[in-house]
Amino acid sequence: MIQAKILVIDDNKSVLSALEILLQFEYSSVQTLFNPNQISSFPKLNEIDIVLLDMNFSAGVNTGNEGLFWLNEIKKKSPNTSVIMMTAYGAVDLAVTALKKGASDFILKPWNNERLLATVKSAYELRKSKEEIHQLKTKEKGLKQLINADKSSIIGSSKALKAVLNLVRKVAKTDVNVLITGENGTGKELIARELHRLSSRQEEVFINVDMGSISDSLFESELFGHSKGAFTDAKEDRAGKFEAANQGTLFLDEMGNLSLQTQAKLLSAIQNKSVVRVGSNKPIAVDIRLICATNCNLEQMVAQGLFREDLLYRINTIHVEVPPLRDREGDILVLADFFLKQYGNKYDKPQLKINNTAQDKLMEYQWPGNIRELQHTMERAVILSEGNVLKPTDFLLHSKPSQTIEAEVTTLDEMELHMINRALDLHDGNYSAAAEQLGVSRQTLYNKLKKLKK
């Protein structure tokens, strides 16, 4: 027996009795109504899975308008309930009208029992499908909110930061492509998330892709997806990041690390507003807001033949330059206090304060690693602190790496990091050129730098 609630509405008591007898052996609950006017006051109508509704109730009237009226009333009160129309007068145009107005099917009187039961079962499956779709949409909305949840906010009130946020507010409501540039650690992803939060797509997903961590061989699969059997490990169809971000925002970070080959593939997807999965020939339309970021000078890379000029124009409709921390006068101590409270609570040291001399030290430092360096500095100071007041000696700050290996570089990891930083400085942050100088692949260089900076 199927656990479902059936409601039969007909002005013929013989019809009601016959259907009740037929359906009670198949479904857990069968109720009947002789008068359709009782629909308005019927208790918990939204819990009814299927309604069998007569098309005509008044004597001598065969237009079906009464049934259409009550169909509309039922749908107002319970949109997901499946309604099957019943009529003794078969008319294709009337059936089409009923289906357009929300009926799931119709049956003719007198009916064939097997056919009627099959029709009711199909209507029940439709009802369950609608419920599942509603649950999936609710779950999807919850997941989007979880993914989009701000893990940190934009902190500061300096003139330089206010100028950036003012530009962000102007641009956010549009769908133009935005290029965010700035040094490492300045908070480019936070600016991208702010653009998404203020946009008309804020209820949709924000997908973040670190382009530097994707090898050329996996680029198409990661960004555009693949079909089952496209390659050895492709055991099922998989959507890429473009499809995952459909209707939402796609944030491509570390754009300066792309090879010319992958740049061409990315340009094609942006121009066509569609992607083709690996192993398929079928284009899939995507509607995304594209935001890109890099710490490289893309115009200089274009001049050097390392970045496509047409791709730069595509991603650079609006350019947002995020200022380094040293140019955000007044924000250093505000951010330091923010991280102090954050890590003080995390490590059960909520009473910590920074004395004036230590504050001066933080203000005078140039912060080459920007906000990320300040964040790590504060966390380390909190962990190693022995009292409630942080002094200058609690903050280990590094001077800018010199052109020679300094005395404090004593480990192999420090040596490698020093060499990589020198190569990147020499090539203005261009990973491809630095990797070529060091004799490794761009992917190896990126992974090693990521590991060394942890």
Q: What is the CATH number of the domain that holds 61?
A: 3.40.50.2300
Q: Determine contact, residues 85/56, Cβ cutoff 8 Å.
A: no
DSSP per position, 352-419: -EE-HHHHHHHHHS--TTHHHHHHHHHHHHHHH--SSEE-GGG----PPP-SS--TT--SHHHHHHHH
Q: DSSP state, 108?
A: E
How far, in Å, CA of 417 to CA of 427, rounded?
15
Strands laid side by side in the 318-321 sheet: 206-210, 249-253, 289-294, 178-181, 318-321
Return the C-alpha torsion angle 188, 245, 151, 364, nearest 10: 0
Residue 346 predicted with pLDDT over 50: yes
Left if phi > 0, otherwise alpha if psi is -120 to 50, otherwise beta: which for 348? left
| pLDDT mean over 2-13 | 91
67 with 96, same domain: the answer is: yes
434 is a domain residue: yes
71 is a domain residue: yes
179 with 295, same domain: the answer is: yes
Residue 241's CATH number: 3.40.50.300
257 with 202, same domain: the answer is: yes
417 is a domain residue: yes
400 is a domain residue: no
262 with 175, same domain: the answer is: yes
335 with 365, same domain: the answer is: yes
Query: Structural domain of residue 447, as residue ranges?
Result: 412-452
212 with 260, same domain: the answer is: yes
86 with 176, same domain: the answer is: no
315 with 169, same domain: the answer is: yes
18 is a domain residue: yes
Q: Determine contact, residues 30/23, Cβ cutoff 8 Å.
A: yes
236 with 210, same domain: the answer is: yes
342 with 259, same domain: the answer is: no
pLDDT at 141: 65
pLDDT tens for residues 34-75? 988 888 888 888 889 999 998 888 766 667 788 899 999 999
Q: Determine contact, residues 116/22, Cβ cutoff 8 Å.
A: yes
Largest CA distance in the chain: 105
Residue 152 predicted with pLDDT over 70: no
* Mode of pairing for the β-strands spanning 225-226 and 206-210: unpaired
Number of folded domains that form the chain: 4
374 with 260, same domain: the answer is: no
Question: Confidence band (pLDDT; 50, 70, 90) for 1?
Answer: confident
Separation in Å, CA 424 to CA 131, 300, 369, 433, 435: 55, 14, 14, 8, 9
202 is a domain residue: yes
- Percentage of residues in the chain with pLDDT exceeding 70? 91
